[in-house]
Amino acid sequence: MSAVPKPTLIAKLTLTSSAFAPGAKIPHHHTCSAADVSPPLAWSEPPAGTQSFALIMDDPDAPGGTWTHWVIFDLPAQTRSLDENVEKQKELSNGARQGRNDFGKFGYGGPCPPPGKPHRYFFKLYALDRKLALIPGATKENVEKAMQGHVLAEGELMGRFGR
């Protein structure tokens, strides 16, 4: 039985939001100061062999170290976007599962920095050659470990928010 070779070069995905431009301010509506709903996201075609997507949103500028705001995985391979206000539940109707964020909740937890310098928020999308099949509530660390050796493409969108 021979091992299946894993890709050595990771392709790039273009990740965008109609709510904010790359590097721009994330609208108040998508933060803990307002409705705290996830922004709409869309992405480019993934490479052949994509079986699922995973998305992680985090804030590397948080006072105690990187803060995880959203973990969603096992998004179906045909998915090319997420609508605004993804439901904050363990499993979505399309089979995607959500992990626990650092607020201790399922789903999206918007930017919520302390007063001061604006923070950067990174939305990182991964096209994978398999489903991760982790349980809902998996952490960012669980997802990153399960993705090792299975990432076909990745994309990133950064937005800023401060209070």
What would the pLDDT profile of 113-156 be if each residue is shown by its tens digit? 999 999 999 999 999 999 998 999 999 999 999 999 999 999 99
Domain contains 13? no
What would the pLDDT profile of 49-107 be if each residue is shown by its tens digit? 999 999 999 999 999 999 999 999 999 999 999 999 999 999 999 999 999 999 999 99
Cβ atoms of 143 and 10 within 8 Å: the answer is no
CATH code: domain of residue 150? 3.90.280.10
Cβ atoms of 15 and 126 within 8 Å: the answer is no
Place of tokens 């803990």: 32
Domain contains 150? yes
Domain contains 11? no
pLDDT at position 2 over 50: no
How far apart CA 77 and CA 131 sit, in angstroms, is: 9
Q: What is the pLDDT of residue 5?
A: 53
Q: What is the pLDDT of residue 9?
A: 73
Reported as type and span, the H/E element at residue 71 is strand 67-76
Domain contains 55? yes
Instruction: Find the domain containing 25 and state its range.
Output: 18-82+89-124+134-154
